[in-house]
Amino acid sequence: MADELYSLTIHEAAGMLRRGELSSVALTEAVLDRVVAVDNDVKAYLALTPEAALADAAAADALFAAADDPARLPALLGIPLAVKDVILVEGVPTTCGSRILEDFMPPYEATVTAKLRAAGAVILGKTNTDEFAMGSSTENSAYFTTHNPWDLSRVPGGSSGGSAAAVAAGECLGALGSDTGGSVRQPAGLCGVVGLKPTYGRVSRYGLVAFASSLDQIGPLARDVTDAALLLNTIAGYDPRDSTSMNVPVPDYRAALTGDVRGLRVGVPREYFIDGMQPQVEQAVRAAIDTLAALGAEVVEIRLPNTEHALPVYYLIAPAEASANLARFDGVRYGLRHPDAETMWQGYTMTRGAGFGPEVKRRIMLGTYALSAGYYDAYYLKAQQVRTLLKQDFDQAFQQVDVIACPTSPTTAFKIGEKADDPLSMYLADVFTLSLNLAGNCGLSLPCGFDAAGLPIGLQLIGPAFGEGTILRAAHAYEQATDWHLQRPMLNNMPAD
């Protein structure tokens, strides 16, 4: 059985640990062996910390052995997890997928990883990401491209592609990612796992390297909805070190998983079923909505009329905030410093020219232009005004419905290199996910089928602010009525289940 331990869900492994049927060291060793077996092909990890992971696993086993009632121990105790490499883990390199932070060692811990450690989770290492989380395919990483475990010639999505691929391939039992315009949900959809973007302010961003500060949010990736709820239970909550953190009570999200959606009003926005969508994606998503209806949900067609403006609004606001946030990478305080610079200004330009990749430079230039004198009102200010209209669309929709159902992505995973020379086509990969970041709402992607090539299709469920319990409830009910989440990719001619 040892060679199959990596395929366990978090809640399955947690139950075995509590019953004494499994040790955390054995579980962690099985997952690390899985990484050795498949990561040369998948390339999910930028940094692996096996010695520290096994030490944490041994400490977890000691707690289990000493406990009078193991059932009262934290749900994540002894569970091997991965962390996207834009989230600081003290003493573990954090590169953000960029050469400009190639040798950066963070001197402090992010709140979310501190919470994982406090819960006894075993952190295996840092996963690959598009540089500074700017991308939809993980091809923008300065180090290498992560491959989709379902088809190694295809992208895993982005920017949390490393985390999604690691979960799908059995290289961890769960992971953290960050979502600025879909970067948890889109790779979750393309890799056939569950990805949840919490409400803005629900999870602390302290220790998350900022891309776009009014949009960024940390969220979990997992094999099923129950695991996503368990991870969110641990990382959610108020943090005074994050000025955007909301002091709102955190419910027990697992308690929301009742399996009952009778009377739940599910909105279907016509604007999210567009020309150019892959037909099999639309078919699978509509079939999933029919399943929710068969379970007792009430399906209602709704309108989100300003949806067509979301993409240009996002690509004005996000690059503008990125141009301000990334100004701190100047070769003076930390990270890369170009050795040939003789003056301060040369240091800035040469360091940033050598350290940033082409997509990051593109977005910095877009953002700087949008914020420049003479263009601020015409571009950035106007985008913020339209952002308000997008939020109002959602607010009005949630007066009619409890949850919105739509595709996660217009297509399944595309070939590596297919969109590399067409930035606009790449940006369109997030057309269904970025609206709710602009509105600050919560959203979740879960598997709802496969296309003719055997690639996963994601169903996106969107909730109002702090409506995580509702979308988890709907997702869990759908998941229990289907078996898409039980499917695993084949790697090294060996099934992952």
> pTM for the complete prediction?
0.96
Would you say 218 and 201 are in contact if contact means Cβ atoms under 8 Å apart?
Answer: no
Would you say 202 and 468 are in contact if contact means Cβ atoms under 8 Å apart?
Answer: yes
Q: Which residues contact 205 (CB under 8 A, 6 or more apart)?
A: 213, 216, 217, 218, 242, 244, 245
Mean pLDDT of 375-401: 96
Report the pLDDT value the prediction gives residue 493, as an integer from 0 to 100: 39
Mean pLDDT of 207-227: 97
Mean pLDDT of 96-123: 96
Taking alpha carbons only, the member of 451, 461, 109 closest to residue 279 is: 451
412: tokens are 């399944």
275: tokens are 């020309």
- Could you give the CA distance from residue 160 to residue 129 in angstroms, rounded to a whole number? 5
What confidence tens digit (pLDDT) does each residue in 180-216 have?
999 999 999 999 999 999 999 999 999 999 999 999 9
Distance of alpha carbon 447 from the chain centroid: 15
Report the pLDDT value the prediction gives residue 487, as an integer from 0 to 100: 96
Domain residue spans in the chain?
2-265+469-495
Weakest-pLDDT range from 175-189, 245-259, 352-366: 352-366
Mean pLDDT of 406-420: 96
Q: Under DSSP, is residue 99 helix (H, G, I), strand (E, B) or coil?
A: helix
Q: Out of 23, 24, 84, 178, pick the active-site residue.
A: 84
Would you say 49 and 138 are in contact if contact means Cβ atoms under 8 Å apart?
Answer: no
From first CA to last CA, the distance across the chain in angstroms is 11
Q: Give whole-number Cα distances, 10 to 74, 163, 217, 260, 496, in Å.
A: 12, 15, 22, 22, 15
Residue 159 bears catalytic tag: yes
Report the pLDDT value the prediction gives residue 496, as an integer from 0 to 100: 39
As a whole-number percent, the residues of the chain with pLDDT over 70 amount to 98
Report the pLDDT value the prediction gives residue 495, as an integer from 0 to 100: 37
Q: What does DSSP say about strands 218-222 and 194-197: parallel, antiparallel, or unpaired?
A: antiparallel
Residue 183 bears catalytic tag: yes
Q: Which residues contact 241 (CB under 8 A, 6 or more apart)?
A: 111, 204, 206
Q: Out of 183, 204, 409, 435, pick the active-site residue.
A: 183
Residue 126 bears catalytic tag: no
Q: Under DSSP, is residue 353 helix (H, G, I), strand (E, B) or coil?
A: helix
Distance of alpha carbon 357 from the chain centroid: 22
Average pLDDT over the chain reads: 95
- Could you give the CA distance from residue 387 to residue 382 in angstroms, rounded to a whole number? 9
As a whole-number percent, the residues of the chain with pLDDT over 90 amount to 88
Would you say 448 and 408 are in contact if contact means Cβ atoms under 8 Å apart?
Answer: no
Q: Which residues pair with 403 in a beta bridge?
A: 266
Report the pLDDT value the prediction gives residue 199, as an integer from 0 to 100: 98
Mean pLDDT of 424-452: 95
Q: Which residues contact 386 (CB under 8 A, 6 or more apart)?
A: 306, 309, 313
In this structure, the dihedral spanned by the alpha carbons of residues 470, 223, 26 and 151, taken in order and rounded to 10 degrees, is: -170
Return the residue matching tokens 């946030």: 325
316: tokens are 């004005």
198: tokens are 């919490």
Report the pLDDT value the prediction gives residue 492, as an integer from 0 to 100: 53
DSSP string, 397-417: HTTT-SEEEEES-SSSPPBTT
What confidence tens digit (pLDDT) does each residue in 341-363 have?
888 888 888 888 888 999 999 99
Predicted confidence (pLDDT) at residue 2 exceeds the cutoff of 60: no
pLDDT grade, residue 494 (50/70/90)? very low
Q: Under DSSP, is residue 442 helix (H, G, I), strand (E, B) or coil?
A: strand
Q: Out of 98, 141, 159, 409, pick the active-site residue.
A: 159
- Could you give the CA distance from residue 457 to residue 435 in angstroms, rounded to a whole number? 20
- Could you give the CA distance from residue 334 to residue 216 in angstroms, rounded to a whole number? 22
Q: Kindly report the CA angle at 55 between 51 and 59, in degrees rounded to 5?
A: 170
What confidence tens digit (pLDDT) does each residue in 53-96 have?
999 999 999 999 999 999 999 999 999 999 999 999 999 999 99
Assess whether the previous peptide bond of 98 is cis (omega < 30° from 0).
no
Return the residue matching tokens 């990125």: 322
Would you say 446 and 479 are in contact if contact means Cβ atoms under 8 Å apart?
Answer: yes
Q: Kindly report the CA angle at 53 between 52 and 54, in degrees rounded to 5?
A: 95
What confidence tens digit (pLDDT) does each residue in 135-167 have?
999 999 999 999 999 999 999 999 999 999 999
Mean pLDDT of 302-325: 96
- Length of the chain as a residue count: 497
What confidence tens digit (pLDDT) does each residue in 477-488 have?
999 999 999 999
- Could you give the CA distance from residue 497 to residue 491 in angstroms, rounded to a whole number? 11
- Could you give the CA distance from residue 489 to residue 44 in angstroms, rounded to a whole number? 15
Report the pLDDT value the prediction gives residue 301, as an integer from 0 to 100: 97
- Could you give the CA distance from residue 12 to residue 273 in angstroms, rounded to a whole number? 36
Task: Quickly list H helices, 208-332.
Answer: 225-235, 279-294, 310-325
Predicted confidence (pLDDT) at residue 497 exceeds the cutoff of 70: no
- Could you give the CA distance from residue 460 to residue 273 in angstroms, rounded to a whole number? 12
Fold of 2-265+469-495: Amidase signature (AS) enzymes (3.90.1300)
